[in-house]
Amino acid sequence: MRHAVILAGGSGVRFWPLSRRRRPKQFLPLGGSVSLLRATFERLVPLIPAERMWVVTSRVHARAVAKELPELSRTRILAEPRPRNTAAAIAWATLEVEKEDPGANLLVLPADAWVPSPAAYRTALGRALTLSESADRLVLVGVRPTRVETGYGYIEPGSRLGKGPARSVQRFVEKPSPARARRFVAEGYLWNCGIFAWRTNVFQEAVRASLPRLARAFAPLAEGRTGAAALERAYRGAPSISVDHGVLERAGNLAVVPASFRWDDLGSWRALERLGREGGYRHGQVVAKDSPGLIAWAEKGAVTVVGVPEVVVVHTPDATLVVAKDRVQEVRDLVGELERTESGRKLVEG
């Protein structure tokens, strides 16, 4: 049967001061009225029922996941003992699904993307699932680019597979230069949105071939060992690598299903301006004058801006961020600087 594995292990603070170590991006209502995690769940429910959804997260966030998704049984929330990137997270979830439903078909996806058109999204994901059921392939969903974007990973599609729209995968390119990105968009490359479909055994085969260290570390779990200590030991031995680098880029049996739905990975505060129609973005009580392009977020309080163009302003009860839109990448450094002082650390932990 079809199961979904939602990866909610992110712990970043690129949306600081709204995001904190204890409340990373997937728990924020970015671009909507519910958290990105909740929105992902709701978007998926018509395709895969809640009973067959799984969430992989960190121990510190397990309770927050349960609060966001009260429909899920606690056994569906997989709390990793330590962060080991996506290859290990998916490998563990695969074992847990297998225990319950041997030979299951998995949809794997991140918890923190923004997708405003759920119908087109579900159509594409359904196609990927269908393909993965009939072919021994690791199937990727590739989003047709809507702009030249240097922050995403691109998939170069290869030859057609069968009669459908699916293609083989020629190569992956991470974060290209503007010139290359422009060429990629013109030549039909696709965005890698981190959504995959495969049967458990096809994925496990690929892990054994490409990441034998991960397969070895998790072997005791695969053989039925259970309990916190066994899990801790497995994770201690697991390599920290993404599924893209560790498995997909080394596999020969890939397929990509091109899809056309609006999608954004919300990589920084600036991403919010893409969600509206006229640039800029406002959340909460905002009063602004002569501040074109303003991205403002008022969390329990108000943001007021006069005469400052192209800026991001975020208010939370204990911190305010003001950053020029073309420097949002530096929020990360700022957070690092804050973490070097005790009072600042409190503002990052949250």
What residues line the site for its own copies (CB under 8 A)?
A: 17, 285, 287, 289-290, 298, 300-308, 311, 313, 315-324, 326-327, 330-331, 333-334, 337-338, 343-344, 347
CB atoms within 10 A of CB 103: 10
Write down the least CB distance from residue 324 to its own copies, Å.
Answer: 4
Write down the least CB distance from residue 49 to its own copies, Å.
Answer: 41
For the chain, list the strands marked E by DSSP.
2-7, 53-58, 77-80, 105-110, 138-143, 153-160, 167-174, 190-199, 254-259, 281-289, 295-306, 311-316, 319-324
Write down the least CB distance from residue 300 to its own copies, Å.
Answer: 7
Tokens representing 135 are 């072919």
Closer to its own copies by CB, 25 or 325: give it: 325
Cross-strand partners of 282: 296
Pairing of the two strands 190-199 and 105-110: antiparallel
Closer to its own copies by CB, 17 or 194: give it: 17
Task: Quote the CA–CA distance of 79 and 135 in Å, as a whole number.
Answer: 31
Closer to its own copies by CB, 148 or 305: give it: 305
Closest CA to 112 of 3, 30, 2: 30
Write down the least CB distance from residue 337 to its own copies, Å.
Answer: 6
Task: Quote the CA–CA distance of 338 and 336 in Å, as a whole number.
Answer: 5
User: Residue 166: is it exposed, middle or buried by C-beta count within 10 angstroms (0-12/13-18/19+)?
Assistant: buried
Write down the least CB distance from residue 313 to its own copies, Å.
Answer: 5
Write down the least CB distance from residue 271 to its own copies, Å.
Answer: 17
Render the burial of 21-33: b for 16+ CB within 10 Å, e for the rest: bebbbbbbebbbe
Task: Quote the CA–CA distance of 59 and 83 in Å, as a whole number.
Answer: 9
Closer to its own copies by CB, 273 or 330: give it: 330
Closer to its own copies by CB, 73 or 320: give it: 320
Three-state secondary-structure class, residue 20: strand
Closer to its own copies by CB, 12 or 344: give it: 344
What sign does the CA torsion over 77, 194, 253, 234 have?
negative
| Distance of alpha carbon 269 from the chain centroid | 16
Closer to its own copies by CB, 76 or 270: give it: 270
Write down the least CB distance from residue 295 to its own copies, Å.
Answer: 12
Closer to its own copies by CB, 253 or 285: give it: 285
Task: Quote the CA–CA distance of 216 and 208 in Å, as a whole number.
Answer: 8
Write down the least CB distance from residue 19 to its own copies, Å.
Answer: 14
Phi, psi (degrees; rounded to nearest 5) at 49: -65, 155
Write down the least CB distance from residue 284 to its own copies, Å.
Answer: 10
Closer to its own copies by CB, 208 or 345: give it: 345
